[in-house]
Amino acid sequence: MSNIPENVKGAVDVDPWLEPYAQVLSERRFLADKWQYDIKHATSDGSIQSLSKFARDSYKSYGLHANPTTKEIVYKEWAPNAQRAFLVGDFNNWNPESHELKNKDKYGNFSIVIPKDSKTNDFAIPHDSKIKVRFILPDGSDIYRLPAWITRATQPNKETQKQFGPTYEGRFWNPPNKYTFKNQRPKFNLSKDSLRIYEAHIGISSPEPKIATYKEFTQNVLPRIQYLGYDAIQLMAIMEHAYYASFGYQVTNFFAASSRYGTPEDLKELIDTAHGMGILVLLDVVHSHASKNVEDGLNGFDGSDHQYFHSLAGGRGEHPLWDSRLFNYGSFEVQRFLLANLAFYIDIYQFDGFRFDGVTSMLYLHHGVGAGGAFSGDYNEYLSKERSAVDHEALAYLMIANDLVHELLPDQAVTIAEDVSGYPTLCLPRNIGGAGFDYRLAMALPDMWIKLLKEKKDDDWDMGFIVHTLTNRRYKEKVVAYAESHDQALVGDKTLAFWLMDAAMYTDMTVLKDNTPVIDRGIALHKMIRLLTHSLGGEAYLNFEGNEFGHPEWLDFPNINNNDSYLYARRQFNLVDDHLLRYQHLNDFDSAMQHCEMEHQWLNTPQAYVSLKHEVDKVIAFERNGLLFIFNFHPTNSFTDYRIGVEQSGSYKIILNSDRSKFGGHDRIDEGTKFFTTDLEWNNRKNFIQVYIPSRVALVLALDK
């Protein structure tokens, strides 16, 4: 291994199969390191700046900034294709000529200083008033845009829409009373702490058919998350998007927190309150693509098609399926914009990390589409100079982005990659040659569960296949396990609960009726699937809001096909609160599962040792971090004195039992029972215990210390 470049030697030490590709990995790391070097030396005085300083100085200088002492407002914008620029708005009665930005430098930056109002001695632009930037283009024409770094954009009222259409309006956000954070960020130790993520969308977080608010989420949903025992929230659809039904993935204004749910100060209060509960808050950040909107987005911002994005002419400028624009990550100013965006959300809103959307699309020139997106796991698909279609510039950007986030938040940063391809080294540290993500989403897991429920009877479930899928992950590259995703909640698909119980959920979930076979099976398997995924599938766990209690309906945002209805764009928490319905049982089990992990911890520990995958009995047994997990998936057979191998001798006790009546079970197990090991090898373990394991029940046992 003497020929392995030093900058990736650590990655090859972790995975020796990377050795033939060490040079490729080295070159990819070198590009990111070179860009970082260029950024650190991009100063006017020849000094060396940190990545953090570069990102922070950028968001503090570009866009609109109010000086509370002098009452001056400074505005800076990058628009290299424009000849002249003017700030217009309510403050100057939309006069197209009165406030011209001067000092266009060689990079295409315009700026203006707007002094205080001489009559009022206050800011010349009132708080929350409407603004736009006007550009004169080389051909003499003019265009109006929302400032690229705008921190607030709002939907126009009905009267404005009649006159100007549905284009979002830029606002000068400068509240006289800014929110003051009261709570410290929770610390997170990547090497030992568990991560239990509650993924949520503010707008749907109400039983009522409407758009819920930040304040409602703070008051009504945060206490639920705390009760359940999650220690992180992942917020979707925060970055402003003009089209609500895009689920937040067609971003128009990258620095503006969505105004649909309230004000920026409301979002700060939400995050601060979560921190007070000891809960990290992660942002679902969309740097993989941008909305094609022109008048209220980045597309064609300065009149060209290639300012922030690859040119449309070359074919790299738009996503073939998403109808969106693709960033030119090799551009220094694009790097500035995106890195500053991350620092902005960390500093201004106190987010604790990011789930990066669309990483697979970013990593490959084919964006994971078509034949190019069929990944077999062959290293040549990722690392061969001839066969791989990796976008080196996008990968380098992701490396630098991870560097920045961990530099800004050394005590709690979490970065998660939404990657289905399994790119090697994605979740290895940057300093050994990896891309630097802390986790990747285990995207094969929900697909497996849905496929099983759609295509196979319980009797035909392959225990070996289930275990293999749950444990098939790269050594020392952590994953976030989840049983179902937000995508599977969308209209056209079904949640796990709906696949299990379907229409019976509308008639048979009441405790006033005898349990039916469909509901009994559905509740039992819903719990088992979640616990098995939680305990075997990864180093962190994620749940999409509502799925913890078996939300009965899909998710469908208001659009032309449903007459703009909000009926399905909501989460029916009222079902959990109704003690006459069985949804409470699933909710209580989810809480017990999270709290059991909190106390005994199996996440973020070495992979489990699976001692049993019995295809006839449908029993799976494994040990992880000293705990013993037993699952009986058999639809009818219960087993008495069933032998389970266990490495460590002693007396074991039950710490979690899915058959409790509180969890919708049948109370068939005496939880006071102690299980003593017998000193005889069984299933390659030094000892065994004998347990009663009823049909469709899961048990977790721990040494009785």
Q: Are 334 and 328 in contact (CB under 8 A)?
A: yes
Helix (H) and strand (E) counts in the chain: 18, 27
**Distance between CA atoms of residues 84 and 99, nearest Å:** 11
- Nearest-5° Cα angle at 524, 523 to 529: 100
Q: Are 654 and 665 in contact (CB under 8 A)?
A: no
CA dihedral in degrees (374, 376, 377, 382; nearest 10)?
-40
Helices (H), 462-547: 463-471, 496-501, 504-507, 517-536
623 C-beta neighbours (distance < 10 Å), count: 20
Backbone angles phi, psi at 316, to 5 degrees: -95, 0
Choose the catalytic residue: 216, 231, 418, 477: 418
Backbone angles phi, psi at 511, to 5 degrees: -80, -5
Q: Give the pair of three-digit tokens for residue 489.
A: 């909640």
Q: If you compute the radius of gyration of the chain from its CA atoms, what whole number of angstroms results? A: 27
679 is catalytic: no
**Distance between CA atoms of residues 163 and 159, nearest Å:** 7
**Distance between CA atoms of residues 705 and 696, nearest Å:** 28
Q: Give the pair of three-digit tokens for residue 417.
A: 């990659």
Place of tokens 């977790």: 700
Contacts of 604 (CB under 8 A, 6+ apart): 191, 192, 193, 194, 195, 478, 539, 540
Crossing angle of the two packed helices 444-455 and 463-471, in degrees rounded to 10: 160
Closest C-alpha among 24, 57, 25, 27 to residue 39: 57
Helices (H), 409-480: 444-455, 463-471
- Nearest-5° Cα angle at 303, 124 to 172: 20
Burial class, 96, CB count within 10 angstroms (exposed 0-12 / middle 13-18 / buried 19+): middle
Closest C-alpha among 359, 361, 436, 357 to residue 402: 436
**Distance between CA atoms of residues 693 and 691, nearest Å:** 6
Choose the catalytic residue: 169, 231, 302, 357: 357
3-state secondary structure of 656: strand
Closest C-alpha among 303, 293, 256, 299 to residue 166: 293
418 is catalytic: yes
Annotated catalytic residues are: 357, 418
